[in-house]
Amino acid sequence: MTGDVVDDHGLWFRVENGTTASAARRAAERLGQQVELPEQRVADLAIITAELTSNLVKHAQEGNLLLRPVRRAGRAGVELVAVDTGPGMADLAQSARDGHSTTGTLGIGLGAITRQASWFDGYSLPGRGTALAVQIWSGPAPGTDWAAALTRPITGEQVSGDGYAVRVADGRRQVLVCDGLGHGALAAAASGAAVAAFRSAPAGPPAAVVQQLHRSMSHTRGAALAVAEPDPASGLLRYAGLGNIAAMIVVAGERRRGLVSLPGIAGHQRPVVREYEYPFPPGATLVMQSDGVVDRWDLADYPGLAGRAPLLTAAVLLRDAGIRRDDACVLVARAEP
């Protein structure tokens, strides 16, 4: 992606050397100015980006950094997500203390990051790597998100044909994951149409929302998509899907449960849309993914991850289960924030 404007999909940087690190820092400064952060917060953002990329260059393997705007309730900030498959850390909290440095870890600089960030969370496993998420706002950070997602384009493309959205409509918590047919700009246009229609669709159950999206996408090449509605009050999750969007409910100590998506392409022909209900008790996690993510992951392999921010779970699964020969999207939602 070129140009000075960073759109809401963000920019991924594969951080392997100082040149890429410098480019990421300059892009972060431009984005901070784009979302109208105060000058001091732009400077703080530059420091955080420099520390994250420096750690990736010095200590990580296959380090990647996502830079994107983040918007909540009429406010705008900047979000950074750094992931790697490096040595990892046994105690992330200790590594984040100022002055702590252990050879072969990402401890250096984490103290500066946590001081400057409006919100910070991280997850690390020795021998598996680290994921760090940071937000920078002009004031206090909004509350913890109940759902979050990441997309990444297929290698060689600048835009992803996968998309997602999160909304609360008349008290209904709903999430969307979509996969535009093919790759590149036309696939991105299809998923963009689905996201726009989802955000403006009248409040209603997932099946009705999917039907609305289908009618709104006839001018596109079409997309696989699914809408889920976690309802903590009833302990249920309602779900309607078309095509190859996979979704699973994970409850600690139990086997994950796959959700049913029917064959079809939103925007084409007249697909059969059905809605299903599933138990969604306190502590449950919903994971939705496009077919650019293999489903051979198990959250039990990541002790403590279910207690971190949904964004971190999405980042770790995208890192470990995402494939480079396809667009990829992972969305994670929790029964409780």
- Neighbour-count burial of 253, counting CB atoms closer than 10 A to its CB (0-12 exposed, 13-18 middle, 19+ buried): exposed
Residue 107: predicted pLDDT = 46
Q: Distance (Å, rounded) from C-alpha 248 to C-alpha 257?
A: 5
**Per-residue pLDDT, 337:** 64
For residue 14, which amino acid is it? R
pLDDT at 78 over 80: yes
Q: Is residue 223 within a helix (H) or strand (E), and if so which, with residue range? A: strand 223-231
Neighbours of 251 (CB within 10 A): 18
What residue type is assigned to position 70 of the chain? V
- ∠ CA(174), CA(278), CA(164), 5° rounding? 30
Q: Tell me the average pLDDT across 241-252.
A: 96
Q: Alpha-carbon distance 247 to 81, whole Å?
A: 23
* Mean pLDDT of the chain, nearest integer: 90
Q: What is the pLDDT of residues 85-119, one digit of tens each?
A: 988 887 666 555 554 454 444 445 688 898 899 99
Contact 250, 287 (CB under 8 A): yes
d(CA 112, CA 126): 22
pLDDT score for 329: 97
**Confidence at 9, pLDDT banded by 50, 70, 90:** confident
pLDDT at position 209, please?
98
pLDDT of residue 96: 54
Give the separation between CA 76 and CA 98, rounded to whole angstroms: 29
Residue 253 pLDDT grade (very low, low, confident, very high; cuts 50, 70, 90): confident
Cβ contact 104:87 at 8 Å:
yes
- What pLDDT does 4 receive? 64
Q: Do 314 and 290 contact (CB within 8 A), yes or no?
A: no
d(CA 290, CA 191): 12
pLDDT at 110: 81
Amino acid at 36: E
Task: Tell me what the mean pLDDT of segment 194-211 comes to.
Answer: 97
Q: What is the pLDDT at residue 93?
A: 63
Q: At 144, is the pLDDT very low, low, confident or very high (cuts 50, 70, 90)? A: confident
CA-based Rg of the chain, rounded to a whole angstrom? 19
Task: Say which residue, 95 or 131, is predicted with more confidence.
Answer: 131
Q: Say if residues 305 and 313 touch (Cβ distance below 8 Å).
A: yes
Q: In the β-sheet with 246-250, what is the strand arrangement from edge to edge?
A: 147-152, 328-334, 285-289, 246-250, 257-258
> Would you state the pLDDT for residue 97?
56
**Domains (range + CATH), the chain:** 11-136 (3.30.565.10), 147-334 (3.60.40.10)
pLDDT in tens, 166-188: 999 999 999 999 999 999 999 99
Structure confidence at residue 1 as a pLDDT band (50, 70, 90): very low
φ/ψ of residue 133, rounded to 5: -125, 135
Residue 239 has pLDDT above 50, yes or no: yes
pLDDT at 210 (0 to 100): 98
How do residues 28-51 score in pLDDT, each as one tens digit? 999 999 999 999 999 999 999 999
Please tell me the predicted confidence (pLDDT) of residue 42: 97
- Buried b / exposed e across 202-221, counting CB within 10 Å, b at 16+? eebebbbbbbbbbebbeebb
Gap between the Cα atoms of 168 and 60, Å rounded: 38
Interacting residues of 167 by C-beta distance below 8 A, sequence separation 6+: 173, 174, 175, 198, 199
